[in-house]
Amino acid sequence: MIMGLLALLIPGLTGYYILRCFKGRRYSFELMDIFLMVGLGLGISAQIIFYVLIFSGHIDCAFIIGVYLLSLCVLFLCSYRYLSKQLLSFSFSFRSVLIVGVILALVALAASILAVLRPWGDWDGWSYWNYRASFFFKSGHDWPRMFQLNMQQQHPWMLPLIILWGWAFYASQRTIVPMAIGIIFTVSTVGLLIGALKKHVSFFWAVLGGVFLASIPMYLLQGTSQYADIVAAYFILLSSVLALDFLKSPSVSSAALTGLCLGLTATVKDNSIVAALLLFFLIIMRLRKRGLGIFIKPLCWGFITIAVSVVLMRCFEVFYSYHNTYGVFLPGLLDWHKWYLTGQFVWKTLINILWGGLWPLVFFCLIAKRVRRIKGEIDVLIQFIALYTIFYLFIFVASALRLEWLLTASFDRTVFLLAPVVVFVMFYIIGKKE
């Protein structure tokens, strides 16, 4: 129990020090920051383990913890000039923390029950993500053979490396670690949504948005499946809300922080690489349109700092993998039967009871946006959602795999990644006072 708390506390402190460096001298601690610190710290822990694995050639639990603590000390010293002078204030009340705490406790309880009922997660949980972490943990210096043997080579590695961070504290493979990671990100995504909405709408609408997301059965089921989908959904939401704040109030520090989180988003899985790149280029286009090109450089530096690891991860696939499982066959776009089959799956998703009231509320908000004429930086997120959806519709239709199997296995999971952002945009439109 103590080891598990330490495994969460150290990344939390890492996220806290990073935020204090980025926020400047007058730091107003927001509700959103609580949930930002956790995800940011766990994302950085995956980066540290990745580079330790590359340079040392194997997993050494004591060495990983030692390097992380050393990195934490360096980060503390870098942020010391802020910590000694910074004026820390809080932008939320005890009452709001209590209400959100009760809601998140209920979400954690529901997620824990579902996690206990499936201690090894769903199919891809144990056969893909946990398998990769287990291979890294056991194989010593032979870990690159995973790619040489063409096993599980797709997708970046954030989730397996976060699992390794938890296992490093126990020096053994514990089932509780991937279970806890799923629960933490499921709860943190709801908390992040409430905190982000609170900055733009009333506290009532922010809380209602979080409750609505948590009430979607698909959200809790997928969040506790031990897939990387919940981690990707968290970071896509985080990057989206940071992008919105950055475009509303541009600054060098917010540009760098947004770029950093976009880079972390790209380290989760292939879908999140697409999401990160789409959002990255939409932000740059908006900055150029507004004549704010000065902020593009820090945004790019923040993104590149993390994205380098994605390129290095892909290098293993280039050298060791023999084929691309998710190949694209462009002539398939001319096959009307594929479009018809994809349309059928879109309709099945719209009427699927596991999505709760998400889709009716989406249609209501599209009408409300036209009536209320809400515009501004939120349009960037709407464009992002639209482009992501269109891109993957074409990818599914053009896939070289058997389309019915691919849609059955991946369609709902692809949509799931955008669910928190969709809920954020909806309640922004409903609750915005302008």
- Domain extent for 100: 2-431
- In sign, the C-alpha dihedral spanning 366, 369, 375, 376 is negative
pLDDT at 81: 62
Tokens representing 329?
Answer: 């066959």
Q: What DSSP state is assigned to residue 228?
A: T
Closest CA to 265 of 287, 289, 241, 246: 241
Is residue 175 exposed (0-12), middle (13-18) or buried (19+ Cβ within 10 Å)? middle
Please tell me which of 51-55, 103-107, 286-290, 331-335 the model is most confident about, judged by mean pLDDT: 103-107
State the DSSP string of 5-33: HHHHHHHHHHHHHHHHHHH-SEEEE-HHH
Q: What DSSP state is assigned to residue 333?
A: G
In the chain, % of residues over pLDDT 90: 51
State the DSSP string of 385-428: HHHHHHHHHHHHHHBSS-HHHHHHHHHHHHHHTTHHHHHHHHHH
Q: What does the alpha-carbon distance between residue 305 and residue 119 come to, in Å, rounded to a whole number?
A: 35
Task: List residues bridging with 343 in a β-sheet.
Answer: none
Q: What does the alpha-carbon distance between residue 153 and residue 132 come to, in Å, rounded to a whole number?
A: 9
**Segment 415-434, tens digit of pLDDT:** 999 999 999 999 998 887 66
Question: Is 50 exceeded by the pLDDT of residue 323?
Answer: no
**Segment 60-75, tens digit of pLDDT:** 888 888 989 998 888 8
In the chain, % of residues over pLDDT 70: 89
Count of domains in the chain? 1
pLDDT at 369: 65
User: What value does the mean pLDDT take over residues 295-299?
Assistant: 95
User: Please, which residues have CB within 8 angstroms of residue 27's CB and are 6 or more apart in sequence?
Assistant: 19, 20, 82, 86, 87, 88, 89
User: What value does the mean pLDDT take over residues 188-212?
Assistant: 94
The runs of H, that is alpha helices, within 290-356 are 296-320, 336-351
pLDDT at 423: 95
User: Please, which residues have CB within 8 angstroms of residue 73's CB and are 6 or more apart in sequence?
Assistant: none
CB atoms within 10 A of CB 356: 16
Q: What does the alpha-carbon distance between residue 15 and residue 307 come to, in Å, rounded to a whole number?
A: 18
User: What value does the mean pLDDT take over residues 37-41?
Assistant: 92
Name the pLDDT band for 22 (thresholds 50, 70, 90).
Answer: confident
pLDDT at 314: 81
Q: What are phi and psi of 140, to 5 degrees?
A: 60, -130
Q: What does the alpha-carbon distance between residue 158 and residue 199 come to, in Å, rounded to a whole number?
A: 29
Question: Is 70 exceeded by the pLDDT of residue 157?
Answer: yes
**Segment 330-357, tens digit of pLDDT:** 777 788 888 999 998 899 888 889 998 8
Q: Beta strand 26-29 with 87-90: parallel, antiparallel or unpaired? A: parallel
pLDDT at 416: 95
Please tell me which of 46-50, 61-65, 395-399 the model is most confident about, judged by mean pLDDT: 46-50
Please tell me which of 133-142, 276-285, 409-418 the model is most confident about, judged by mean pLDDT: 276-285
pLDDT at 260: 96
Q: What does the alpha-carbon distance between residue 355 and residue 343 come to, in Å, rounded to a whole number?
A: 17
User: What value does the mean pLDDT take over residues 72-101?
Assistant: 74
User: What value does the mean pLDDT take over residues 287-299?
Assistant: 92
Q: How far is CA 100 from CA 104, 190, 201, 228, in A?
A: 6, 10, 15, 25
Question: Is 60 exceeded by the pLDDT of residue 87?
Answer: no
Contact assessment for residue 407 and residue 341, using Cβ atoms and an 8 Å cutoff: yes
* pTM assigned to the model: 0.94
